[in-house]
Amino acid sequence: MNANAQIPPAVLGPQPAGLGRRAALAAGKAEGPAAPHAASVTNLNVRFGAAHVLKDVIMAVPAGTVVGLVGESGSGKSTLGKTLVGINKPASGEITIGGEDFTRMHGKRRRQMRREVQYIPQDPYSSLSPRRTTGQTLAEALDPHGANPMEHREVIAAALERVKLDPSAAEKYPHEFSGGQRQRIAIARALMLEPRLVIADEITSALDVSVQADIIRLLQGMRGKVDSAMLFISHNLAVVQQVCDEVMVMYQGRIVEQGLIESVYRNPQHDYTKKLLASVPGSPAFTLD
């Protein structure tokens, strides 16, 4: 089967920027000036030894949108996210970030690019140094060579405010925060660098339901207020519906479907997507707002 046959043509060409795109697309008015995708991937293959984990992946994250990535465990979602940040090396294929070829980028430009794509892992505890205050952690992200929280105090306070944390959080260590607060710090750190793309890998799944809801509200509140696009990896179709503009479905190392949430949820094309939606409690009456 041609892996790309299921991908709507709209995904493959440049898209207009802006978070109004969802409404524009829904209204059939998504014509207009083309802007580069925040990220796009063509025929991407990733292997770990004999394991062929990503197979000819084609996908795009339009600038200014939040795209959900769903799929069964082991299908390759984290591998795709980590390849986009440069943690995994592709065996073949192309990755462009903001229209620039990331796969052939070397040296200083590649290091700069590492700031432009930020990866937020599931467990923020492991990514926040226990011996650094939040201020030190954020200062280091801003300036890896001369991390001084005092120099960056205002930027750090603004970054914390964006995720609804008090500026005094800058003086505290990771163990003094709840899981949800640590996840906020990880989000603040990622957004503070004004990346083109944020990859959020199961960032709500380690949190209890009420804290999850809190982070979801936070992400919803930020929509349209930040320029970054986001790839939101999640197992939870309802959360994806709440947070994302579009959804893409990964199955056995391939993106088998991508489109607006409404169209994919109401009218899934691929058998795996149909099964996935049927497994949601209450389905087929899976409700859309």
Ligand X SMILES: Nc1ncnc2c1ncn2[C@@H]1O[C@H](COP(=O)(O)OP(=O)(O)OP(=O)(O)O)[C@@H](O)[C@H]1O
What letter represents residue 182's amino acid?
Answer: R
State yes or no: residue 78 binds Mg ion (CB under 5 A).
yes
The Cα–Cα gap between 187 and 119 comes to: 9
State yes or no: residue 204 binds ligand X (CB under 6 A).
no
Backbone phi and psi for residue 57, each to the nearest 5 degrees, phi listed first:
-70, 130
- Supply the minimum distance, in Å, between the C-beta of residue 289 and Mg ion: 27
Q: Choose one: 77-85, 140-148, 151-159, 204-212; the region binding Mg ion (CB under 5 A).
A: 77-85
The Cα–Cα gap between 271 and 283 comes to: 15
State yes or no: residue 279 binds ligand X (CB under 6 A).
no
- Supply the minimum distance, in Å, between the C-beta of residue 202 and Mg ion: 6
Is 98 or 121 the residue whose CB approaches Mg ion more closely? 121
Give first-to-last CA distance, the chain, whole Å.
Answer: 34
Applying CB under 6 A, which of residues 77, 152, 184, 189 lies at the interface with ligand X?
Answer: 77
Applying CB under 6 A, which of residues 78, 136, 183, 212 lies at the interface with ligand X?
Answer: 78
Q: Are strands 92-97 and 66-71 parallel, antiparallel or unpaired?
A: unpaired
Is 16 or 76 the residue whose CB approaches ligand X more closely? 76
Q: How many chain residues touch ligand X (CB under 6 A)?
A: 11
The Cα–Cα gap between 233 and 101 comes to: 23
Given ligand X, Mg ion, none, residue 73, with its beta carbon under 5 to 8 Å by kind, binds ligand X
- Supply the minimum distance, in Å, between the C-beta of residue 250 and Mg ion: 10
Is 7 or 80 the residue whose CB approaches ligand X more closely? 80
Q: Choose one: 75-83, 140-148, 150-158, 270-278; the region binding ligand X (CB under 6 A).
A: 75-83
> Would you call 130 helix, strand, or coil by DSSP?
coil
The Cα–Cα gap between 99 and 161 comes to: 31
Applying CB under 6 A, which of residues 15, 79, 96, 134 lies at the interface with ligand X?
Answer: 79
Helical H runs in 117-208?
A: 124-127, 134-142, 153-162, 179-192
Within 10 angstroms of residue 101's Cβ, the number of other Cβ atoms is 10
Q: From the centroid of its chain, how far is CA 226?
A: 13
Q: List interacting residues with Mg ion (CB under 5 A).
A: 77-78
Q: List interacting residues with ligand X (CB under 6 A).
A: 48, 51, 53, 71, 73-79
